[in-house]
Amino acid sequence: MSVLDLIVGARAGQQRDIARLISRIEDGATDAREAMAALSGFTGRAHVIGVTGAPGVGKSTTTSALVTALRARGNRVAVLAVDPSSPFSGGALLGDRIRMQQHATDDGVFIRSMASRGHLGGLAATTPQVIRVLDAADFDAVIIETVGVGQSEVEIAATADTSIVLIAPGMGDSIQAAKAGILEIGDIFVVNKADRDGADTTVRELRHMIALGQHDGWAPPVLKTVASTGTGIEEVVAAMDEHREWLIGSGQDRKRRLRRISDEICALVVGETRARLSVRAAELDALSSAVLDGSMDAYQAAEQLS
């Protein structure tokens, strides 16, 4: 099938065509180019939501509960799991996997596991393009689930309209540890597993830390959930809606989208550079040996490849 056929199918909500289109984009530049050209004009409508937090905090359970809540009001939802351990990407515990299967048979839900790109960056370089495909395929919400302390949280904030940061009660150490990054990037903070000891203390600590920070007109709320039972999820959805309205009303929406596109363009240019390098692997090997043996330094080697 041609890329254009796939786009027609994807626009009509055909799950298989969406999946194939994404694979084409992940696989090759020519197809992706064609697809991007054909998609411009159909995008800009989906609400892109990032869900992140340390391992064990309940990201997948929360994502699943959010999907259920968004479906209940008729939204079409796509989930991108950039987390090798996510049940969405098939890597996790059986119990989780079963919980997710309710969505697997729902035509209004599209689930895709994205490989992260090793040392090239936490989020796959193609993530912005994949989001554009899902946007054009008329999903109301695209949820990106990433595991992470630090690095991927920052990336997800750059990619999402609304970033939800999950915290577990009593994770004082982690809050401390991740403090620098976490407070800057969260638009909504959720203390999950709030039926556990220490939830209120964690909420209080977070509120205190957030109050000390700088925010451009949006005060990030700190909410409590027990995602496994759905408790508090409605409030998270309401906060998501509110944040989106604020984004649009304040002009931050356009600003964030511009930044996202600018990151995407840079990633494509850098990707082009990397692609050129990978073609010259033999030359790179020879230059690396020369540097190791001391007959050349790394800058001289880099110059020869530039």
Site residues for its own copies, 14-53, by CB under 8 A, read 29, 32-33, 36-37, 39-41, 43-44
Near its own copies by CB under 8 A, which window of 143-151, 188-196, 202-210, 240-248?
A: 143-151
Which residue, 62 or 152, has its beta carbon nearer to its own copies? 152
* Number of neighbouring beta carbons within 10 Å of residue 87: 26
List beta partners, residue 145.
51, 81
Which residue, 72 or 261, has its beta carbon nearer to its own copies? 261
* Residue 226 near residue 232, CB atoms below 8 Å: yes
Under DSSP, is residue 28 helix (H, G, I), strand (E, B) or coil? coil
Q: Which of residues 273-292 bind its own copies (CB under 8 A)?
A: 273-274, 277, 284-285, 287-289, 291-292
Q: Which of 150, 198, 210, 252 binds its own copies (CB under 8 A)?
A: 150
Compute how many residues bind its own copies; rule: CB under 8 A.
Answer: 77
The rounded distance, in Å, linking the Cα atoms of 200 and 209 is 14
The rounded distance, in Å, linking the Cα atoms of 43 and 136 is 5
Q: Which of 13, 93, 127, 230 binds its own copies (CB under 8 A)?
A: 93
The rounded distance, in Å, linking the Cα atoms of 10 and 195 is 41
Phi, psi (rounded to 5 degrees) for 296: -160, 155
By the rule CB under 8 A, 254 interacts with its own copies: yes
Q: Which of 9, 50, 128, 232 binds its own copies (CB under 8 A)?
A: 128
In the complex, least distance from residue 170 CB atom to its own copies, rounded to whole angstroms: 11
Q: Would you give the binding string for its own copies spanning residues 162-181, x where CB under 8 A is met?
A: -----------xx-xxxxxx
Q: Which amino acid is at 270?
A: V
Structure tokens at 24: 């084409």
